[in-house]
Amino acid sequence: MSHVMNTYARMPVAFTHGEGAWLFDETGKRYLDALSGIAVSTLGHNHPRLVRAIAGQAACVLHTSNLYRIPLQEELADRLAAMSGMDEVFFCNSGCEANEAAIKLARMYGHKREVANPTIIVMEGAFHGRTMATLSATGNRKSQAGFEPLVSGFVRVPYRDIDAIRKVAEHNPNIVAVFLEIIQGEGGINIADEAFQRELRTVCDEREWLLMCDEVQCGMGRTGKWFGFQHAGIAPDVITLAKGLGSGVPIGACISAGRAKGLFGPGNHGSTFGGNPLACAAALETLAVIDDEGLMGRAVEIGEFIRNGIAQGLEGVAGVRDIRGRGLMIGIELDRPCGVLVAQALEAGLLINVTSERVVRLLPPLTFGREEANALLERLVPLLRDFLRQN
């Protein structure tokens, strides 16, 4: 019996190696990876440039400390600032750590404005992580159950409801920030429309609140732009990144600008491992490959091809509520719970995920091409069709 703590309902498979969009298990069976470790393996598996970059850095130095200058960290911060139009970057190891930093920035911002109980507006259906503060910000009662008391300082409103936000603004003088996922991943691939994002920016400006965008899952080129907020042309005060930033090497980032710039000083926050040379080398190479191979444009093209293929394949089949997404962040919402599809897809040599009980979630590597997209459709469409007809 394994001594690994039982925190995941793991699938009965272990992978030994990968090549491109394919993974291979211990028996040699191959699987098309349409999940990429939940939006992590941006470049797929065993990308030669990423392998060289990691091996080369490992041969130099893996880790020093944030007590010293780290030139690769400075280079990566400059790159992210240029891509996002923002100013300062704090590096950590994961999305929840990046979001924790954002929450602390908001509280620091509030206290500097002499707000006694700084409070952040968060959204129903949101997922910001599993640390105590990010779990408290998460809009999923199932994830929170058993961990009360939760951290105070959050007010929850329905997703994309600008009137609800304005109503909170009228009655709560403690609000200092709004935390928004541009696309809710765990929540079911729900997209904040561009008009809502622009109106939210206006409200935040009127109230001098921070607009904080959680880009942990939808950032890093997955939607066809570096960041989800860039589709609406807004400028957040804080954004958070992780997952696809290092293409499998753990790294997260909390990036600030505007009112959130300059809030932290030495001793206010920190990370032992965050932004170490190995992680930064992986992230810099990931960004370079996305640029050099035109992967953001490909995400738009292949994402549309997959959504259209699924729609055509399921035409006339009852039970499909919606096929939505942006770029290579795709959700297929059914009218019934469909978690069993994950195991059925695994048997068929396909890795997918189901979230919010009824939404099949696809997050393929950005290196997915037409060949892989066709292989995905050949496996997934019959599974969905049979499931809906038999259940």
> Across residues 314-340, what is the average pLDDT?
97
Residue 235 pLDDT grade (very low, low, confident, very high; cuts 50, 70, 90):
very high
CA-based R_g, the chain, Å: 21
Superfamily of domain 15-46+294-389: Aspartate Aminotransferase, domain 1 (3.90.1150.10)
Q: Which fold has domain 49-292?
A: Aspartate Aminotransferase; domain 2 (3.40.640)
**pLDDT for res 391:** 78
**208-233 pLDDT, tens per residue?**
999 999 999 999 999 999 999 999 99
∠ Cα 240 94 237 (to 5°): 10
What confidence tens digit (pLDDT) does each residue in 240-276 have? 999 999 999 999 999 999 999 999 999 999 999 999 9
Residue 140: per-residue pLDDT: 87
Q: Which two tokens stand for residue 290?
A: 């996305």
- The Cα-based distances of 1 to 4, 5, 15, 25, 379 in angstroms read 9, 11, 19, 20, 34
pTM: 0.96
Band of the pLDDT at 280, cuts 50, 70, 90?
very high
Q: Which residues are annotated as a binding site?
A: 127, 130, 214-217, 271-272
Domain ranges of the chain: 15-46+294-389, 49-292
The separation between the first and the last C-alpha atoms of the chain, rounded to the nearest angstrom, is: 35
Mean pLDDT score across all residues of the chain: 97
Residue 160 has pLDDT above 90, yes or no: yes
Q: Name the pLDDT band for 95 (thresholds 50, 70, 90).
A: very high
The dihedral formed by the CA atoms of 236, 166, 162 and 138, expressed in degrees to the nearest 10: 70
Q: What is the secondary structure of 259-271 as a DSSP string? A: GGTT---TTS---
- Residues annotated within the binding site for N(2)-acetyl-L-ornithine are 130, 271
- Mean pLDDT confidence for 76-100: 98
pLDDT digits (tens, 9 = 90+) for 366-376: 999 999 999 99
pLDDT for residue 1: 66
Instruction: Place 386 in a pLDDT band, splitting at 50, 70 and 90.
Output: very high
Known binding residues for pyridoxal 5'-phosphate = 127, 214-217, 272
- pLDDT tens, position by position, 16-32: 999 999 999 999 999 99
CB 215 within 8 A of CB 232: no
